[in-house]
Amino acid sequence: MDSLCICYNLVDHANLPGIPPLPEAYIVPVKPNGLGYVEKQATPPILDSFGIPYLETAHEKLLEICSSLKVAVLEQKFRPAKKRKNFGLADILKEPKIKDVVINHIHDKLSVFYALVIENNYPIIHNAQRKDPFEVHRLSIGKAVLDPILEFTKTEDGIDYAFTLKEEEKVIIPQNHSIQILLNEPSWISIDKTVFHINNLNANKLKPFFSKEKITIAKKHIKTYLDKVIIPVIKNVDVIANGFDILTHKNIASYRLDIIQDFITENYVAKVAFDYGEATFDYHSNKKTSSDVHLGENQEIQITQIKRDADAEKEIISLLTSKGLTINSNLLLETEGSEDPLSIFNWVQQHHKELEKEGFQIVLPNFEDKTVTLDSHQLELQHKKKMTGSMLKE
């Protein structure tokens, strides 16, 4: 007997401009040759009747998202009070102010949706029809996050520029692949039926390169193009410049230790941020460079690039690990072997004088609008969990 699974079908809505594919959940049999034909739509009552577990799994949240993103639900939520019921989502989206609110709402929901589907490796489908086996429309899940690369080439008539994507060591030229934008920001795309997340780039910026490898900008249009297209994205992507001089900086000016809450574990952990002068990088971020571009006096493009110094950052991190902190899988630092979610505060209290001598700026969080200080006292915080070595001030 075939087993059953919950699949998520991404459905395009061509009549709703600006709306990304919206997910629907279905019950589908798993056959030896892949996913079969749809059995039923996956809703809590139907899943219960099939005996398919979903409570206290990521499916529970995903089903809630699918339900909230049904067109009828969106219409009911965003339809102006004085409009009739036949005033549909397409009509609602014609109102610019309401459209922005609707799209932001959808993006917030979908950003959680994709993160959960990818993390749990659940089956995801694009535009499946009931008449077809779902396996035909199934998308694979890319293991790597893609890094965008912006390349400038100086020519006699102006500049050529192009976007490529890097999957670890593999360079992907968009024109050579079948690409669908699933969500523009945060960016999720399908490349040859494989789903990828793109770092630090609105996916819509790739659209011009679906049909051409590069764009040529004449000299007289360079300033306008820089201001409107390139400058808004260049700080967040890697840059390759051919025929231009790049002024590179890679000196750490200062560094900061932020105590933050990990909202998944509810423990407090340490985040390290490195200030390179014109840009700040979190240690746990995979962003490696920050670039800027402007026109000089002779209308020549000048590029400044800040590159992270991995060796220098590791030396600074070692100042923390040598005092007992460990680096977790998210590249945040935590105390080892303690079940107390507030134990990082005790660690900071014990080491803060030495840390400050070593150059760390320490930033502590607020608790209910009260600041945490490092005076030696004991108090009780939320949930009656004790924190030694810190004191709250109004």
Residue 302 forms part of a structural domain:
no
Q: Are residues 266 and 357 in the same domain?
A: yes
Residues 104 and 175 in one domain: no
Distance CA 184, CA 202 (A): 5
DSSP conformational letter for 228: I
Given a contact cutoff of 8 angstroms between Cβ atoms, the answer to whether 371 and 392 are in contact is yes
> Do 152 and 301 form a contact (C-beta atoms < 8 A)?
yes
Ranges of residues in the chain with a pLDDT under 70 are 1, 264, 298-299, 367-394
- 112 and 177 fall within a common domain: no
Which of 15, 127, 7 has its CA nearest to residue 66? 7
Pair (135, 151) in one structural domain: no
For residue 186, cis peptide bond before it (omega within 30 degrees of 0):
yes
285 — phi, psi (to 5°)?
-80, 145
pLDDT at residue 64, as a whole number: 97
Say whether both 125 and 195 belong to one domain.
no
Residues 264 and 375 in one domain: yes
- The predicted pLDDT at position 326 comes to 93
Looking at the structure, do residues 266 and 381 belong to the same domain, yes or no?
yes
Q: Residue 70's closest CA among 58, 78, 81?
A: 78
Residue 46's pLDDT is what?
96
Same structural domain, 127 and 181: no
CA 200 to chain centre: 8
- The count of domains in the chain is 3
Note the pLDDT of residue 391: 41
pLDDT, residue 180, reads 96
DSSP structure class, residue 364: P
Residue 181 belongs to a domain: yes
In this structure, is residue 95 part of a structural domain?
yes
The answer to whether residue 243 sits within a structural domain is no
Are 161 and 214 in contact by the 8 Å Cβ rule? The answer is yes
**Whether the Cβ atoms of residue 203 and residue 189 lie closer than 8 Å to each other:** yes
**Which amino acid is present at 8?**
Y
Residues 166 and 261 in one domain: no
The SS3 of residue 36 is coil
- Last residue in a domain, options 108, 139, 170: 139
Cβ neighbors of 249 (< 8 A, separation 6 or more) are 276, 277, 278, 304, 305, 306, 307
Cα–Cα distance between 260 and 363 in angstroms, integer? Answer: 9
**Does residue 78 share a domain with residue 34?**
yes
* Distance, CA of 179 to CA of 206 (rounded, Å): 10
Backbone angles phi, psi at 67, to 5 degrees: -65, -40
Contact 203, 185 (CB under 8 A): yes
- DSSP per-residue letters across 49-116: HHT---TTSHHHHHHHHHHHTSHHHHHHHHS-TTS-TT--HHHHTTSHHHHHHHHHHHHHHHHHHHHH
In a domain, residue 61? The reply is yes
Q: Are residues 169 and 83 in the same domain?
A: no
Q: Tell me which residue has tokens 């059953």.
A: 4
- Tokens 């991404």 identify what position? 10
Residue 247, token pair as written in the block: 């002024």
- Domain presence at residue 54: yes
Q: Are residues 129 and 57 in the same domain?
A: yes
Contact 341, 269 (CB under 8 A): no
- Taking the complete model, does pTM exceed 0.85, yes or no? no
Give exposure, 372-394, as e/b (b: 16+ Cβ within 10 Å).
Answer: bebeeeeeebeeeeebebbbbee
Using the 3D structure, point to which of 217, 247, 264 is the last residue of a domain: 217
Looking at residue 227, its amino acid is: D
**Beta-ladder partners of 40:** 27
Q: Do residues 187 and 147 lie in contact, with contact meaning Cβ atoms separated by under 8 Å?
A: no
| Domain extent for 96 | 3-139
Last residue of a domain, one of 120, 139, 158: 139
Per-residue pLDDT, 80: 85
Q: What would you report as the CA-atom Rg of the chain, rounded to the nearest whole angstrom?
A: 25
CB atoms within 10 A of CB 99: 16
**What are the tens digits of pLDDT across the range 51-73?**
999 999 999 999 999 999 999 99
Which residues are CB-neighbours of 164 under 8 A, at least 6 positions away?
Answer: 148, 149, 151, 171, 172, 173, 174
Q: Is residue 261 part of a domain?
A: yes
304 occurs within a structural domain: no
